[in-house]
Amino acid sequence: MHGEEIKYITEAYETNWMSTVGANINEVERIAAEKAGVRYAVALSCCTAALHLCVKFAGEKLYGKPPIGHGAVEGRRVFCSDMTFDATLNPVVYEGGIPVFIDTERDTWNMDPAALEKAFEIYPEVRLVVAAHLYGFPGKIDELRAVCDRHGALLIEDAAESMGATYKGKQTGSFGDYAAISYNGNKIITGSSGGCLLTNELEVANKARKWSTQARENAAWYQHEEVGYNYRMSNVIAGVVRGQYPYLEEHIAQKKAVWERYREGLKGLPVSMNPFEEDKSVPNYWLSAMIIDKEAMCKQVRDDNTAMYQPEHGKSCPTEILEAIASINAEGRPIWKPMHMQPMYRMNAFITVAGNGRARTNAYIAGGVEDVGADIFERGLCLPSDNKMTKEQQDVVIEIIRKCFE
């Protein structure tokens, strides 16, 4: 927090605009659209709400308005990022869709365009793709966009973690037909909660505003002709977001410094930081992560709830490092567990491209077919990445990691 946030919160209080309309909301929508390089932004209660309305609108545009009580993509497959938080694809399920997970590529740890192309060969009827940018590091979004265009599919861009990041000089959140950004408490800027739907279509913005206010019709009485939601952002939350926006670039610079200190401090160890295409993208460095070289992994096993490892000289694993970091009251986390490995989605189709160019769609990958997401999950971990972390605190974390390999 920088101080300007409380000014706008107080303004909402003193003018008595405490609900879901007001100057703060108007300004957040204006700034969000301007920053992302799109025409319209709709301020909502959270990024998941924004993604839900993206999926709902895309479904109705593709397939027509469903009967009341049915989802816009009900019974239809939707291609989704595999290595992401489940909030990326939950809205697909809200609308009755069937997620089909697309494997990850190693260059950016995001959706693999080659696997997406394979997915369209297997399921040519699919017309909707939901792709996320992991940890603030842009995926190959122009290639993903091109694949979607070739197959007549709409692209929803989950830029929850990547606000302020660019790909080929263009802001993430501006490549998709519709996109969503997040102001959750841990994001690059925050409102404690909140998010925005981004679009270049006035029709989409207007529809999102209507749906997010319980789909009330333009009548003096409360008239409803379709199902709506209570998704609008409060003017108080918007005050926090409004006060944070001037510091977006400062926060990105701080996050970049954290990532670079890790990269420098871990030199000589058999590890590498989360990757990106340095000639194409500028991440916002929201979350610093690392991956251990295969030959430097000690034995590690994990089930759905617990993890165990066997210490070995000169080697380590995510479980050992995370336990060591936790011992000094700092927080690290495993990499997002891929969606195709989640208990509720283990029977969903999962598309990965093998070395021979074939794709497998079974949830349990047969031997000889590389599952990139599962491998990154096995060997990767997220490091303490607070932009308020001091160099001295980060040096302690780095030293603890180095000791794990002794």
Strand pairing of 195-199 and 178-182? antiparallel
Distance CA 179, CA 156 (A): 5
162 contacts 170 by C-beta, under 8 angstroms:
no
Tokens 């940890």 label which residue? 135
Q: Which residues contact 280 (CB under 8 A, 6 or more apart)?
A: 138, 167, 168
Query: Any idea how long the chain is?
Result: 406
As a whole number of angstroms, the distance between CA 35 and CA 273 comes to 28
- Between strands 154-158 and 128-132, the pairing is parallel
Task: Tokens 């950004």: give the residue.
Answer: 181
Task: Write the secondary structure of 176-227 as one string of H (helix), E (strand) and C (coil).
Answer: CCEEEEECECCCCCCCECEEEEEECCHHHHHHHHHHHECCECCCCCCCECCC
Which residues form the catalytic set? 187
Query: Is residue 193 within 8 Å of 187, Cβ to Cβ?
Result: no
Q: Which two tokens stand for residue 341?
A: 């490995």
